[in-house]
Structure 1
Amino acid sequence: MSEQPMTYDLPVVRVEDLPMPGPGDFAAAGVPKQHLEFAAEDYVRRTAARARENRAAAAEACRSIPHRYRRALPEHPEVRRWVVDVVGASFAPHAGRGGDLEYHRWVGPSLLIGGRVGVGKTHLAYGAVRALAASGLRMPDFAALSAPDLHAAVRPRPGVDTEGEFRRYAQARVLLLDDLGVRKTGTDWTEEIDYRLVNARYDGYLPSVFTTNLTLAQLKDTMSDRVVSRLVEMCRVVIVDGEDRRWAGLGGRS
């Protein structure tokens, strides 16, 4: 029997599902007053165009988005605000066009989503990335993995350009790093990787989404102070409350 080709549930963000920002949102994000109306209208236009036209790129992106999160949305209001702020930071007046707006390199604040195990942090993180993709970011231009997988990917081994692997994540247009600080104790090597990665994102003002089960104080026990210090400055911190959804899904079964 021949094997059937794999099909993908395309993670195209539906425009009607997204919180469409208005001029006030872009004002809060720092867009100049004379550009507020254009920024809001252009966001909606680009979002609709991306949802219609980027299906091929979205299909390719399915290889990077775990199946469980292909319909994720930025449901938390502070996560939605972060999306708008990153989009707002991507606007800049073009000196050669009389002040007309253009999209420049994607830059902006990062996001740290904290909370106990199972409250939906990873779902929110992928929802934020998908909303950015819908607003104009080409979906293949982001990288997503867990912190343990990052360490595994860049661990020196014969025949692998691990420094190239590191640059892939350090220089990604948007990075989603799940389970930050998940290890019990750090080593000099893992602390160096953590520092180099966070510092590269910090210096480049590159949007990053981190999730963690730990408090900032607990992160200091597994990561160096210089890493946590940069995270505090570069990130909007969102704490998600609630019970473990995985256990709740058992419906009271033992």
Structure 2
Amino acid sequence: MLEIITSEALLPTRHGFFTRKGGASSGIFHGLNCGPGSTDLSEAVDINRARVAAYMDVQPNHLQTVHQVHSPDVVTLTEPLIIRPQADAMVTAVPGLALGILTADCQPVLFSDPDAGVIGAAHAGWRGVKDGVLEATLDAMEALGADRANITAVIGPCISQAAYEVGPEFVESFIDDNPENSRFFSGGKGDRALFNLPVFGLSKLRKAGIGHAEWSGHCTYSDPERFFSYRRTTHLGEADYGRLISVIRL
């Protein structure tokens, strides 16, 4: 059985943050691995993505994802893409196109302006958020007729602050950008710090003038039964990891 996390804030727009439950993959990818970039069997990934498409009530080729590269780049979709472009966010005003974001600790962010009939989806790791992927998504939605004051964004399952330990160079790079960024860190062991990725994302969205933004509150690292996690895989010494999918459609 598929398990889908939804947010009342995004309703009536159809959407879902899919957990790893209900998939065809096995081994370290056990469950709903939707990442074609993983070393999982391509047949299993195709089955998993087809199950997601069926739940979203779209054809498999209408479930669109991009080749994510931790950039601020946004693609505007007017029809299904045959080749996945390098980008980290998508927007559309076309009914029947489902926008999918793949994550394994980074933030999946789903956007909707139901009055304008415009949606968006972004892959938002620390680098993408720092470089402006969330603001760029809002800009692209407004270019399609949305009003950012009417846009809702929900951050889905991602790594929480308690599990996101970083080194002093990481902290310094943020504080060099803006001393106020110190509020996204708390003390860790020794010279380490704990970084609050979802609060960083929320702060960027709210500063950009969005109507409403929230985080689902789910931590990918701390719940292996439900979520894939790149950092957990690294700590366990596993060879690869699955990718969760988060989807929104008109």
Task: State the TM-score bracket (shorter-chain normalisation).
Answer: 0.3 to 0.5
Larger radius of gyration: 1
- Answer 1 or 2: which has greater strand percent: 2
